[in-house]
């Protein structure tokens, strides 16, 4: 906020020193969130638009290869800071217009003829610094398994190294928790009201032998397929793992469900030693030791926990 105030102050002073120039009375982009266009073979654009009182935008154009091509992701790299200098291709552009602007202004391959730019500053120096962290996609149910965080059993029930709060198969029986908590009519439940087929008090989603027939759910499959929920492992609409009269059991089950959960990436863009020059020919410059451009929040993507270095999947 201090930096925003600083440029506001500078611009007002600067404008008032130039008789006849347009008075910029607001450089304060209320919303810190940044929008983006994908690359589509061109440099990528990040921008903020202000349409209150004054029609203005500030944008960062970049062809830096560390930045994703996707419009909805800046980067998924939370390990490293992205840092590059502004130059003829990578630049900050501040503009004031004579009318309302929309995202199309930046995202169309051909810039529209209106609104007209009536004042423009372009960077003549600075270093872009981008740091990224993960952001929870679902605050109340991190792994999206249908059991809210505050109701997840503490710890790691199946000892697979993934805490229950992040585990989409809490008991490690190859049946997703969100499947195991589903109650149908006539299902047996425990005292807490959770589905508990063998009525041993342990809900199915935490029970590795759901039907209590002595064969672990994970092994109540046929050779053809190794997931207990697949059609091969269901007879007369009842899965073997829920049928205590059947003990279909295979000892050589190696499949485990890949633990994919939703997440987002939040990137913070700061420009160090930013120097902007007025394009009106006056050569006037304004400078910042550090300008907080804003935050870019990605769309929700699926990642594997624990990380196996696969590329996150866009939903
Ligand atoms: Ca869980
Ligand atoms: Ca399970
Ligand atoms: Ca049980
Ligand atoms: Ca069983």
Ligand 1 centre to CA of 215 (Å) is: 23
d(Cα 179, Cα 205) in Å, to the nearest integer? Answer: 8
Peptide bond into 115 cis (omega under 30): yes
Ligand 1 is an ion; its neighbours by CB within 5 Å are: 143, 145, 164, 167, 170
pLDDT in the model for residue 53: 80
- Which of left, alpha, beta for 160 (phi over 0: left; psi -120 to 50: alpha)? alpha
Ligand 2 centre to CA of 214 (Å) is: 16
pLDDT in the model for residue 201: 97
pLDDT in the model for residue 314: 78
Ligand 3 centre to CA of 211 (Å) is: 7
Q: Considering every ligand atom shown, identify the ligand nearest to the alpha carbon of residue 202 and give its number.
A: 3
Q: Considering every ligand atom shown, identify the ligand nearest to the alpha carbon of residue 205 and give its number.
A: 2
Identify the CA nearest to 54 among candidates 108, 97, 111.
97
Q: Considering every ligand atom shown, identify the ligand nearest to the alpha carbon of residue 211 and give its number.
A: 4
Ligand 2 centre to CA of 180 (Å) is: 6
pLDDT in the model for residue 66: 95
Ligand 3 centre to CA of 235 (Å) is: 21
- Which of left, alpha, beta for 144 (phi over 0: left; psi -120 to 50: alpha)? left
Domain residue ranges of the chain, discontinuous segments joined by +: 2-136+264-300, 144-258
Ligand 1 centre to CA of 236 (Å) is: 29
Q: Considering every ligand atom shown, identify the ligand nearest to the alpha carbon of residue 167 and give its number.
A: 1
Distance spanning both ends of the chain, measured CA to CA: 34
pLDDT in the model for residue 7: 47
Ligand 4 centre to CA of 123 (Å) is: 67
Alpha-carbon distances, residue 249 vs 56, 148, 173, 223 (angstroms): 67, 32, 13, 9
Identify the CA nearest to 274 among candidates 148, 163, 128.
128
Q: Considering every ligand atom shown, identify the ligand nearest to the alpha carbon of residue 217 and give its number.
A: 4
Structure tokens at 208: 């590795």
pTM of the model: 0.76
Ligand 1 centre to CA of 21 (Å) is: 60
pLDDT in the model for residue 22: 41
Q: Which residues of the chain have pLDDT under 70?
A: 1-27, 308-309
Strand, helix or coil for residue 15: helix
Ligand 3 is an ion; its neighbours by CB within 5 Å are: 196, 198, 200, 202, 207
pLDDT in the model for residue 113: 85
Q: Considering every ligand atom shown, identify the ligand nearest to the alpha carbon of residue 144 and give its number.
A: 1
Ligand 4 centre to CA of 298 (Å) is: 42
Ligand 4 centre to CA of 293 (Å) is: 57
Ligand 1 centre to CA of 53 (Å) is: 48
The DSSP call for residue 30 is S
Identify the CA nearest to 297 among candidates 269, 268, 266, 271.
266
Ligand 4 centre to CA of 149 (Å) is: 27
| Residues 174/227, Cβ–Cβ less than 8 Å | yes
pLDDT in the model for residue 141: 97
| Residues 36/296, Cβ–Cβ less than 8 Å | yes
Ligand 4 centre to CA of 180 (Å) is: 14
Ligand 1 centre to CA of 164 (Å) is: 4
């Amino acid at each position: 906020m201090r930096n925003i105030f600083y440029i506001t102050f500078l611009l007002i002073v600067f404008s008032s020193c130039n008789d006849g120039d347009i008075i910029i009375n607001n450089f304060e982009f209320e919303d810190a969130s940044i929008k983006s266009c994908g690359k589509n073979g061109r440099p990528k654009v990040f921008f903020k638009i202000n349409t209150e009182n004054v029609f203005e935008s500030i944008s960062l154009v970049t062809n830096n290869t560390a930045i994703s091509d996707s419009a909805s992701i800046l980067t998924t790299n939370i390990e490293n800071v992205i840092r590059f200098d502004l130059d003829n291709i990578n630049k900050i552009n501040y503009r004031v217009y004579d009318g309302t602007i929309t995202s199309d202004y930046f995202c169309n391959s051909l810039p529209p003829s209106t609104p007209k730019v009536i004042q423009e500053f372009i960077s003549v120096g600075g270093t872009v610094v981008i740091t990224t962290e993960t952001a929870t996609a679902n605050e109340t149910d991190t792994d999206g398994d249908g059991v809210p965080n505050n109701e997840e059993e503490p710890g790691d029930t199946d000892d697979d190294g993934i805490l229950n709060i992040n585990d989409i198969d809490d008991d490690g029986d190859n049946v997703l928790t969100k499947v195991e908590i589903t109650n149908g009519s006539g299902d047996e439940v425990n005292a807490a009201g959770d589905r508990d087929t063998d009525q041993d008090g342990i809900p199915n989603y935490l029970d590795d032998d759901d039907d209590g027939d002595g064969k672990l759910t994970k092994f109540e499959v046929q050779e053809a397929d190794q997931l207990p929920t697949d059609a091969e492992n269901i007879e007369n609409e009842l899965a073997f793992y829920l049928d205590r009269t059947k003990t279909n059991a295979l000892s050589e089950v190696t499949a485990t469900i890949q633990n994919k959960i939703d997440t987002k990436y939040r990137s913070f863009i700061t420009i160090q030693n930013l120097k902007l020059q007025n394009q009106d020919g006056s050569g006037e410059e304004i400078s910042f030791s550090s300008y907080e451009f804003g935050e870019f929040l990605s769309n929700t993507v699926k990642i594997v926990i624990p990380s196996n270095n696969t590329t996150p999947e866009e939903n």
